[in-house]
Chains A and B, each alone.
Chain A
Amino acid sequence: MHEMSVATNILDLAEKSMEGYRELRSVTVQIGELAGIETESLRFSFEALRKSTPYPDVQLVIEEVRGRGVCESCGREVHMDEPFALCPECGTYSVRITRGQELKLLSIEVD
């Protein structure tokens, strides 16, 4: 359940980014398919944590990013739902991840 510490980090980072505003309405995060995060687990952790913050109603918005890779042998672009993939073109496992490892706080909505 590293999603619990990820949720803690999201809330900490959001709070540090509030620039003097009093109310935190929502946080928008970008999570890649290959970031090693279970989004359901993250929602659950966030739900549990927000109650003990000064912003018990803060919403979590998740923007998912599909995993992409490029084969280093033949240059073919491949969808990746695991951190490794068999290239359908040349049959090797030399696919390098190009997208999908994002774990970012994109923005916060404040009042």
Chain B
Amino acid sequence: MCDTCGCGSEETIIRTPGEAREHERMHAAGVGHHHAHPHPHAPEEAPAGGETIAVNRDVLQENNRLAERNRGYFQARDIFALNLVSSPGSGKTTLLERTIGALKDSLEFRVIEGDQQSMQDANRIEATGVPVVQVNTGKGCHLDARMINHALGKLDPPAGSVLLIENVGNLVCPSLFDLGERHKVVIISVTEGDDKPAKYPTMFAASDICILNKIDLLPYVDFDLDQCKEYARKVQPNMTFFELSSKTGEGMDAWHEWIRQQIAAGR
């Protein structure tokens, strides 16, 4: 949300770190602007009489349709897109920073950051030298396919690039919204409970890659890696796991290798 005018409190804002500063400068200079407030209207002409109309449509069909469009866009440009989901504080942004740092000489990265508010994460990614677009969802608790569609218009990721989408930190809502990604990657840190997959099964069922992060802290916490994997496999028998610490770098090689292999296999 813009701190000056509060715009975005109701609507999604999509912007790059450079644009965010421009928006603040504009307000500082006393320049205002208008916001659209779209709302539905009843049709002008209506036939008479009550009736039941059969609809029989998936409630999320609009999102699914847009997700398929995004998927087509990724396929046409040979873009490898990952949707990273987790609770807040699992270390998603650090994982992104370290992954980009290790692979950016050989792979082209683009990032879409999703948060309710602030440019914090986009600024961190910008510091790695990789183009990034921040989506602020306002009150929204997840990214949806339309937001990604709009962000892609701004980001214009080049052919053959890797697109990392960091979803809003939330282990419930993003599970329902397909963005068009190749894989949903669920991240859980060992400072959380090893029973997370049992408590939030919908998200683990929707993902096929699971990263167990912050393993450098295992000696200090009661987190049973095998137990956690067992819970996760119950909801997603095909889950692929990576145990790593994006802070110390332990286990990161296998994750990087997987990304390289996926890209090589896709070509």
Contacts and interface: CB of A to CB of B under 8 A. Distances in A.
Contact of B177 (A2, A18, A23): A2
A45 to B, nearest CB: 11
Contact of A110 (B51, B141, B144, B173): B51
B53 A106 contact: no
Interface string A6-17: 100111111101
A12 B39 CA distance: 10
A11 B175 CA distance: 21
A13 B53 CA distance: 12
Given A5-B144, A20-B46, A20-B47, A108 B235 contact: no
B57 A13 contact: yes
B62 A104 contact: no
A93 interface: yes
Given A83-B235, A84-B234, A9 B59 contact: yes
Interface string B186-227: 000000000000000110010000000000000000000000
Contacts of B233: 93
Given A10-B59, A103-B59, A18 B201 contact: no
Contacts of B42: 22-23, 54-55
Nearest to B61: A13
Contact of B54 (A36, A53, A106): A106
B205 A54 contact: no
A36 B174 CA distance: 11
A57 interface: no
Given A5-B142, A83-B235, A109 B51 contact: yes
Interface in B33-58: 39-43, 45-47, 49-58
19 contacts: A2-B172, A2-B174, A2-B176, A5-B142, A6-B60, A6-B176, A9-B63, A13-B61, A17-B57, A19-B53, A36-B175, A52-B39, A54-B42, A84-B235, A93-B234, A93-B237, A103-B58, A104-B57, A105-B55
Interface of A: 1-2, 4-6, 9-15, 17-23, 25, 29, 36, 52-55, 82-84, 93-94, 103-111
